Amino acid sequence: MNARGRMSRRELLKVTALAGGGLMLELSLNRPATAEELSTLLSSRELNAYIRIAPDGEITIYSSIPEMGQGVKTALPMIVAEEMGARWEDVKIIQAPIDESRFGLQGAGGSTSIPNNIGAMRRMGASAREMLIGAAALLMEVDRADLDARDSRVVHRSGESRTFGQLAALAAEQPVPDPEMLSFKDPRSYTIIGTAVGGVDNLVIATGQSEFGIDVDVPGMKYASYTSCPRVGGKAIRFNEAEIKGLPGIADAFILAPDDRAGRASMGFLNGLAALRGGVAIVGDDSWSVFEAKRRLDVKWDTTGASDDDWSRMVEQAKGVARKGNGETLAAGVSVDEALADPENRVHEAFYQFPYVAHVCMEPMNCTAAYRKGQGGEPDTLEVWLGSQFPAQVKEIAQNMLGLAPENVIVNPKRLGGGFGRRAVHDFATEAMAISHRAGVPVKLTWTRPDDIHNDLFRVGGFENMKGAVNPDGKLAAWDQHYIGFAKGGKPVIGSGLRGNELPQSVMKNARVRQTMVDVATRCGAWRAPGSNTNAFVEQSFLHELAVLAGRDHVEFLLEQMEPRRWVTEGNVNALNTGRAMDVIRLVAEKASWGKEMPEGSGQGMAFYFCHAAHVAEVAEVTVDADRNFRVDKVTVAVDVGPIINMSGAIGQVQGAVVDGLSTMALQQITMKDGVIQQDNFHQYPVMRIGSTPAIDVHFIQSDNPSTGLGEPALPPLAPAVTNAIFAATGIRIRSMPLSAEGFNLV
């Protein structure tokens, strides 16, 4: 029987869309009855995933989104398995290849993987379930209304059942259900969603078998290092070529000229970032040889027009801008000047600053590239292996820089040894591709840790000058926020400036928000919760300052700003909902025993923040000694991101965000002098160690709102919760990060 002949118009459309690249679908439709290895294959561009059921009952679900520790490779298939009625133990997860014509956007960023894909995953699972039930109805000769799918079986109300494996071949011949007509399981009957499931790769990770980008080994492969100009925008003129080439284990060394073509990106926020920087490539027999040769490099740089950024100068400049007090007005407020001038009101002004910080993913940036000349009129091809948050971007780079058609470029996605926004940009892949193209051999380019820090796309630093007034009743009367940040080509860099959804201006009328942008050459990029991770520190600290000024309890003062319960943008379920905010604030206060008696030198601090559709409140408890050594004893977190998919993954993300937030605010700062990044390695740019880890108590409000992402939003409230707690413990207000530069040592 011809499967195509029985398809509805809609299904025919799906097949048409897949015929060009959907090899697996073709395979399945052409021989569903043979079923040696594949019995059922559902596939759709719209559904954004694959399910395969083998005759032995093994269910394979393809995960199309990159995994970097955020848990998506486990969470998304859980949704599919739940809806189809599979037993989790029967499910095998495979990372899908990179082909956005088949899988849709294969990217991970902005905590969007769950909200963007949950609907498609549910439809995929429900479609499979209906096809399996359809097959069972035929096979068992019963009414499909009397059938139910559970535990990887279709069960009749009489108790008779068939396994998914037994049904797979016949299910493949069932019509694919119309997505509009699908019904979904009652969440109360869930057996997988909401439970705690371990990461699907835990075994291979714990036994050292997991393959990250850096572990790729290709036949004939050489190893490469790249040294780009320490000042952004510079290029290499000459280097000690003869000496380098004469070193043991070195095969080749050459200059690469800057190439902006590689930077062109269709995803606007990435535009320009993956450009090839001018520098020197070294190719050799092993990583150590090329690293040693790199150490001996002596390069004459042309630094005409290169970065001369200087952090100390930036700080002075920002203070000058703050004194002048003008800037682009984003929100005018109602009567801010009047309230600030009113002698009845108490008024307060404070200058905050936050540094540039690096990503320092534990796996340094790396990429393996094999450029192959086409033989006998065949086109040249390129194969690339890397960990990437947006792997399809690599095809764009190859097309723009090397003129390769996308179909002649194969991208092999590998597990990411950390992302945090760094692996959204593929400048390291640009370098590997250019080196392989020039050297004519496959190369694995590995950045040393200093390369990884110097060439990072940093979380942008910045400054905010804050003014506020509280009236005689202790209520917030005016909020005046002036952001001084950084721009390139007249456009704020990622994470710099205000978007208008920050607190409290989004909930109060009398808020004025202005910003001034200063040009910067230093490369900036997305860093876990861009913008939010610094704005939360300033806004939630200053709100606490005003609560103190008003003589009010911080929680009470914060709750007051949220009244009444409402969506700030009506009809937008991704907007701030002040009711959800109040609920997490109250819950965290209750769970942390807010206001309890604290010993001398200890204090509680709290902060709330909203970003990525998530409402998160945190209470930190700190102890500070006379020498300003401090430890964070405990952090209590309350989160509303709607229903949780994987409870274990969710708790892990929150714990990790708390540790990351603490590590960053306490210890980390990148500075530039004459355009050169001053930190080389972990001895100058430390990461928090295990001994400083607080107890972390995580609570979820599983509200009846759509499930949204949790990779980022638990990080922003941490810093202000800690500095507010230090104020409570000592009376010292910290308005600048990192705390180590303010004389506070995390122990």
Partner 1 sequence: MSRFKLTVNGELQEVDVSPDMPLLWVLRDKLKLMGTKFGCGIAQCGACTVHLDGAAVRSCTLPVSAVTGAVTTIEGLAGTGDLHPLQAAWIEHDVPQCGYCQAGQIMSAAALLATNSRPADEDIDAALAGNYCRCGTYVRIRKAVHTAASFYNADAGDQG
Residues of the shown chain interacting with partner 1 in the complex, contacts defined by CB under 8 A: 68-71, 196-199, 201-203, 205-212, 214-215, 217, 223, 248-249, 286-289, 291-292, 360-364, 415-420, 446, 448-449, 648-649, 652-653, 655-660, 663, 681-683, 686-691, 693, 695-696
d(CA 310, CA 672): 5
Nearer to partner 1, 217 or 328 (CB): 217
Asked whether the beta carbons of 577 and 688 are under 8 A apart, the reply is no
Positions of E strands within 183-278: 222-228, 235-239, 250-256
In the complex, the smallest distance separating the C-beta of residue 687 from partner 1, rounded to whole angstroms, is 5
Asked whether the beta carbons of 520 and 497 are under 8 A apart, the reply is no
In the complex, the smallest distance separating the C-beta of residue 69 from partner 1, rounded to whole angstroms, is 3
| 328 strand-pairing partners | 515
In the complex, the smallest distance separating the C-beta of residue 634 from partner 1, rounded to whole angstroms, is 11
Written as six digits, the tokens of 570 are 């009506």
What count of other Cβ atoms lies within 10 Å of the Cβ of residue 466? 23
d(CA 721, CA 539): 11
Helix ranges, 4-71 (H): 9-19, 23-30
In the complex, the smallest distance separating the C-beta of residue 179 from partner 1, rounded to whole angstroms, is 33
Taking CA atoms, 29 is separated from 61, 131, 251, 407, in Å, by: 18, 15, 50, 24
Nearer to partner 1, 145 or 362 (CB): 362
Can you give 694-714 as a three-state secondary structure string? CEEEEEECCCCCCCCCCCCCC
Selection from 172, 166, 230, 146 nearest residue 454 by Cα = 230
Pairing of strands 695-700, 629-640: parallel
In the complex, the smallest distance separating the C-beta of residue 335 from partner 1, rounded to whole angstroms, is 44
In the complex, the smallest distance separating the C-beta of residue 73 from partner 1, rounded to whole angstroms, is 11
Helix ranges, 262-421 (H): 287-295, 311-324, 336-341, 393-402
Nearer to partner 1, 70 or 408 (CB): 70
Nearer to partner 1, 205 or 573 (CB): 205
Nearer to partner 1, 198 or 320 (CB): 198
DSSP letter at 200 equals: T
Selection from 177, 174, 182, 180 nearest residue 28 by Cα = 174
**Helix, coil or strand: residue 618:** strand
In the complex, the smallest distance separating the C-beta of residue 58 from partner 1, rounded to whole angstroms, is 20
Nearer to partner 1, 291 or 351 (CB): 291
Torsion on CA atoms 2, 6, 11, 12, rounded to nearest 10:
60
Return the H-helix or E-strand segment holding 280: strand 279-284
d(CA 331, CA 675): 34
Tell me the residue type at 670: I
Nearer to partner 1, 164 or 223 (CB): 223
Placement of tokens 């990072």 in the chain: 456
Nearer to partner 1, 641 or 662 (CB): 662
In the complex, the smallest distance separating the C-beta of residue 324 from partner 1, rounded to whole angstroms, is 40
In the complex, the smallest distance separating the C-beta of residue 385 from partner 1, rounded to whole angstroms, is 13
DSSP letter at 414 equals: -
In the complex, the smallest distance separating the C-beta of residue 206 from partner 1, rounded to whole angstroms, is 4
Nearer to partner 1, 136 or 657 (CB): 657
Nearer to partner 1, 166 or 389 (CB): 389
In the complex, the smallest distance separating the C-beta of residue 527 from partner 1, rounded to whole angstroms, is 12
Length of the chain: 747
Nearer to partner 1, 190 or 291 (CB): 291
